[in-house]
A and B are shown apart, each in its own frame.
Chain A
Amino acid sequence: MKEYRLFAQSMYDRAVGHYETFGVSVFEDGVMIRIVRDVSPDRKRVEALVSEFNREHLEPVHLDQAIEDFLLDYDC
Chain B
Amino acid sequence: MLCDLCPRECHIERTERQGGYCGVGTLPKIARIAPHYDEEPILSGTGGAGTVFFSGCSLRCVYCQNHEISADDFGTYITPYQLSEEYRRLEAMGVHNIEFVTPTHYIDAILESLCYYRPKLPLVYNSSGYEKVESLKKLDGVIDIYLPDFKYSNNTLAHRLSACADYAETAAAAIEEMLRQVGAPVMEDKLMKRGVMIRHLVLPSHVKNSIGVLEIIKEKWDSSVLVSLMSQYFPTGKADQYPDINRRITLREYQKVLDKLYELELDGFAQELESADKKYVPKWNYGN
Contacts and interface: CB of A to CB of B under 8 A. Distances in A.
- The judgment on whether A and B are partners is yes
A68 B243 CA distance: 21
Contacts of B247: 19, 41
Given A72-B211, A73-B208, A38 B250 contact: yes
B166 interface: no
A21 interface: yes
B contacts with A: majority SS: helix
A11 B205 contact: no
A49 B156 CA distance: 24
Contacts of A72: 207-208, 211, 256
Nearest 4 pairs of A and B residues by beta carbon: A15-B276, A72-B208, A15-B274, A76-B157
A68 B253 CA distance: 10
Contacts, number: 56
Contacts of B156: 76
Given A40-B250, A41-B247, A76-B160, A71 B256 contact: yes
Interface in B246-283: 247-253, 256, 273-277
Interface residue tally of chain B, by bracket? Answer: 20 to 34
B218 interface: no
Contacts of A74: 205-208, 244
Nearest to A74: B205
Contact of B252 (A15, A39, A76): A39
Given A73-B208, A74-B206, A16 B252 contact: no
A56 B161 CA distance: 34
